[in-house]
Amino acid sequence: MNETERKQGEWEPKIIAFLCNWCSYAGADLAGVSRYQYPPSLRIVRVPCSGRVSANMILDALRSGADGVLVSGCHPGDCHYISGNYYARRRFAILKRFLEFVGIESDRVNFSWISASEGEQFAQVATEVTERVKRLGPARHLVKEF
């Protein structure tokens, strides 16, 4: 067992989740109320809209030591602000490919659509993202140290 594997065994990743106020945050709330189980690795940041989340924020999370990032908004067509998530979708599509291009593992940065009624889906996504990040091990590339 090498060190990474050993660490993965006992290590719980820290994942920053930017959830939009109107859908995904309510979805996370519902997951809790409905007692769906999911790993305790998510630190939730409530934002007005997935369109509010900038690349700066995602990279700031990684720089500060997050092992993974999840951004989640309303399903296309359901945005409280009509089109925020459509714009976000273009920006995230480009960003995700771009981060992969400079060598950031694809599964570090994740995006999802979760509505206010999808508590179960939220728990699924949280579990899935946690597993993916666990497989990668602790983030190293963009974590600032001194």
Shortest approach of other proteins to residue 135 CB, angstroms? 13
CA dist 140 → 63, 115, 145 (Å) = 9, 32, 10
What is the helix, strand, coil percentage profile of the chain, to 5?
45, 15, 35
Q: Is 110 in the site for other proteins (CB under 8 A)?
A: yes
DSSP state of 19: E
Interior CA angle at 55 toward 50 and 60, to 5°?
A: 110
CB 126 within 8 A of CB 39: yes
Compare residues 32 and 98 and give the one whose CB is closer to other proteins. 98
Distance between CA atoms of residues 40 and 12, nearest Å: 8
Out of 36, 52, 80, 91, the residue judged to bind other proteins by CB under 8 A: 91
Out of 18, 66, 121, 130, the residue judged to bind other proteins by CB under 8 A: 121
Out of 7, 43, 93, 117, the residue judged to bind other proteins by CB under 8 A: 93
Q: Is 41 in the site for other proteins (CB under 8 A)?
A: no
Q: Is 5 in the site for other proteins (CB under 8 A)?
A: no
Tell which residue, 23, 12, 6, 127, has the closest CA to residue 78.
23
Out of 98, 117, 131, 135, the residue judged to bind other proteins by CB under 8 A: 98
3-class DSSP state for residue 73?
Answer: strand
Q: Is 78 in the site for other proteins (CB under 8 A)?
A: no
Compare residues 14 and 48 and give the one whose CB is closer to other proteins. 14
Task: Measure CA of the first residue to CA of the last residue in the chain; give whole Å.
Answer: 29
Q: Is 60 in the site for other proteins (CB under 8 A)?
A: yes
> By the criterion CB under 8 A, which residues form the site for other proteins?
55-56, 59-60, 63-65, 70, 76-77, 83, 86-87, 89-106, 110-114, 121, 124-125, 128-129, 141-146
